[in-house]
Amino acid sequence: MPTTEKTSQMRDFTDSTEYKRDLGLMEAVSIVIGRIIGSGIFKTPAPIMALVGCTSLFGLVWLLGGIVTIFGAVVYAELAAMMPRSGGPYVYLKMAYHPFWAFLRGWAMFFVSETASIVAVALVFGVYLEALWKIAFGSLFGPITYYLIAFTTIWILTIVNLFGVQQSGRIQNFFGATKVVAVGGIIGVSFVSWSTGSLSNFVTPLLPESFDGSTFKSVGAALRYAFFAFSGWEGATYIAEEVKNPRRNLPLSLFIGISGVMVLYMGANAAYLFQLTPEQIASSDWVATDAMEVALGATGGILISIAVMFNTFGNVSTQILVKARSWQAMARDGMFFKKFAVLSKKHKTPNNALIGQGLWATVLLTFAVSAENSYETIIDFFSATSTVFNLMVFGAIYVLRKKYPNVDRPYKAWLYPWSLIIVFVIYATFFVITLMTTLIPSLIGLGLTSLGSIYYYFYIHKRDKLVRD
């Protein structure tokens, strides 16, 4: 490896940055919470219950999703404390493997998974606005209205993020607090409204009709939606260069944020079950709204629809904030569109990357809004691709311990190597089941990802070869 390349790589273990470190622990925790709590807890209980069909497996899916997320955070915490660089997983892959894999992951994030996630949550914002509209006026939206709502949401929040991370941090604190209050309100109202709920919902049916291969497959397929509901927990690592004392605050933000969200999620699902039967949950388009309507009537439906709209709006804001940092980090390394590397001179924000991200999200939105069950379609589209790269990032902790044994590690993964083995086995099993249950969408997502190899070979590889020669 040439000396200049070694120097460049070792820089990733330092705290040097061109960004402004304006975000403290509170903002980092808010980003973790804001990135996780978006549409998932309000939308995914329905497809999960529809797949498993009983309350015991419904609870098991959510519990597994939370436990696997915590073990994943244990691994990420070591990587984040060791390399406090913006871009999160992109940086870890770049340091552990050949740069091609880091590039391909970034390519997949931009063109397949992460930008699509922005679109998915923006669509759910429209769904709950429609729920509010239906309660108030008795009518539903059409596809064009959905499109315009999601489009406006994405671009308003993209523009807000162009004007400095400090302002964005305040927004994250506000929406982070709103999310906790909203989910906590669902839990509180549901169990206070004792006369409208029923404990029998928790045990009818408690078990599946039979335990066989199809049961195992159903749980694995349902995990796709639970993992989506917990996804984004690594969000603070994307903005590592803008966090104060990142070697301490990044691991802390992961553990505090994820633990809090897991408690809220389990409570919210219990609240849904108390107010709605499993059959009602499985068939619901707006689970949170339906549960609150049972508990409080139309007033409850209106209040929770407003709360969910705040949550999803804030989640889109968080996603737009953190994901643009990955595209900037890639471009800074010469691994993506060159103009994405430029930071605003005044605000030190990656404005070109933010605008490019918004443009591609608009393209994906145009296709998604025309699909039936567009929310589930988007999740099916990128689950397999995301899982492949998640496995590689988790494996990076093993590779980097061998490759850079003497680098300072302020935090070491708890229960390593067992924590790594547990999360690796569960994710690998999940990947196989995802291919079995959503083969065509998975292959499309993987196919779009593989197109990145063409760009890499004809642009990056040939350019680097010319430089070496």
Write out the H or E segment, with its range, that includes residue 29.
helix 25-36
8 A C-beta contact, residue 296 and residue 197: no
pLDDT at position 4 = 44
What is the rounded distance in angstroms from the CA atom of residue 127 to the CA atom of residue 308? 10
Chain centre to alpha carbon of residue 157: 17
What pLDDT is attached to residue 3?
44
* d(C-alpha 353, C-alpha 241), whole Å: 16
Query: Three-state SS for 234?
Result: coil
Q: Which of 165, 152, 186 is nearest to 264 (CA)?
A: 186
Alpha helices in 88-137 (DSSP H): 89-96, 99-108, 114-137
Residue type, 114: E
Quote helix, strand, coil % in the chain, to nearest 5: 80, 0, 20
Do you find a cis peptide bond into 205, omega within 30 degrees of 0? yes
Q: What CA–CA distance (Å, rounded) separates 420 from 21? A: 31
How far is the CA of 35 from the CAs of 121, 196, 228, 300, 457, in angstroms?
11, 32, 11, 25, 33
Q: What is the pLDDT of residue 339?
A: 93
Domains and CATH numbers, the chain: 18-468 (1.20.1740.10)
CA atoms of 342 and 78, how far apart (whole Å) = 29
What's the confidence (pLDDT) of residue 214? 85
SS3 372: coil
Contacts (Cβ under 8 Å, ≥6 apart) of 441: 377, 380, 381
- Residue 26: name the closest of 256, 232, 233 by CA: 256
**Angle of the 143-160 helix axis to the 351-368 helix axis, nearest 10:** 170
Q: Phi and psi (nearest 5°) for 138? A: 80, 10
Coil, strand or helix at 23? strand
CA distance to 194, 272, 275, 293, 350, per residue, from 191 (Å):
6, 10, 8, 14, 45
Phi and psi angles of residue 62, each rounded to the nearest 5 degrees, phi first: -70, -40
Whole-structure pTM value: 0.82
Q: What is the 3 state secondary structure string of 55-73?
A: HHHHHHHHHHHHHHHHHHH
State the Cα angle at 430 between 203 and 237, rounded to 5°.
105
Query: Is there a contact between 410 and 15 (Cβ–Cβ < 8 Å)?
Result: no
Per-residue pLDDT tens digits of the chain, which is 469 residues long: 444 445 456 777 888 888 888 889 998 998 888 888 877 888 889 999 999 999 999 999 999 999 889 989 999 999 999 999 888 889 999 999 999 999 998 888 888 778 888 888 888 888 778 877 887 788 888 778 888 999 999 999 999 889 877 777 777 788 778 888 888 988 998 898 888 889 999 998 888 888 888 888 899 889 988 988 898 888 888 888 989 999 999 999 999 999 999 999 999 999 999 999 999 999 987 788 889 889 888 788 788 778 888 888 888 988 898 899 989 989 998 888 889 999 988 888 899 999 999 999 999 888 877 666 666 676 777 788 888 999 999 999 999 999 999 999 999 998 899 989 988 998 898 899 889 888 888 888 888 888 889 989 888 877 777 776 6
Please tell me what DSSP assigns to residue 343.
P
Identify the three-state secondary structure at position 156: helix
CA 190 to CA 292: how far, in whole Å? 7
CB neighbours (10 Å) of residue 76? Answer: 25
The letter for the amino acid at 361 is A
Report pLDDT for 197. 87
CA max distance for the chain: 78
Distance CA 129, CA 163 (A): 27
**CA 311: distance to chain centroid?**
14
CB proximity list for 183: less than 8 A, separation 6 or greater: 37, 41, 264, 265, 267, 268, 311
- Spatial distance between the Cα atoms of 311 and 204, rounded to a whole number of angstroms: 31
